[in-house]
Amino acid sequence: MTSKTEFYYMDDDVTQPFTAPHNSGKATPVEELLKLGVLYFQYPELEQVNELAKQRHYKNRDHIELSKEKIPEDVLNEKLKIFYEEHLHEDEEIRYIVDGEGYFDVRDLQDRWIRCKVVANDLLILPEGIYHRFTLTDKFYVKAIRLFQDEPKWIAINRAELDKGGEIARQQYLASVSA
């Protein structure tokens, strides 16, 4: 792989900030992500993203830029705390990294964290119902396109509050990956 994209199991070092790599040294092949329903593509051309959007019926998109230069540090830190709370969605989560880098962490079926370090030209699709979270690397910069099948929405159902919604998405997810 020529990019700086990495997939690996996370270490358990809670003394390091969540923007640290937390690399356990155990790489995770992209095939393991595929078993979890996580899709990864590397698209150097925006036209490739547009074609995928057409194929998968993504009708809307927005752009997000997270950086200390664009967002006051206290506001950025609050956003990152929200994004880093373990949660799921009732829709797929699709992110195309235009510039910069970040970490998507996803739970495997044994409840271990797999860290996906994504960089420019990476597109990641997380299935509805998968537990995940996001943070920036210690470079504190990412510019991404978020794709949506319908109107743009970002409703996170935190794992600690799953009984308030999301159970159907979670059960459907588990059924899809254990089939």
Which residues neighbour 110 within 8 Å (Cβ) at sequence distance 6 or greater? none
Helix H or strand E encompassing 149:
none
93 annotated ligand-binding residue:
yes
Buried/exposed 144-163: b ≥16 CB within 10 Å, e otherwise = bbbbbeeeeeeebbebeeee
> What kind and span of H or E run contains 30?
helix 30-35
Do 59 and 150 touch, CB atoms closer than 8 A?
A: yes
Q: What residues are designated binding site for Fe(2+)?
A: 87, 89, 93, 132
Q: What residues are designated binding site for Ni(2+)?
A: 87, 89, 93, 132
Q: What residues are designated binding site?
A: 87, 89, 93, 132
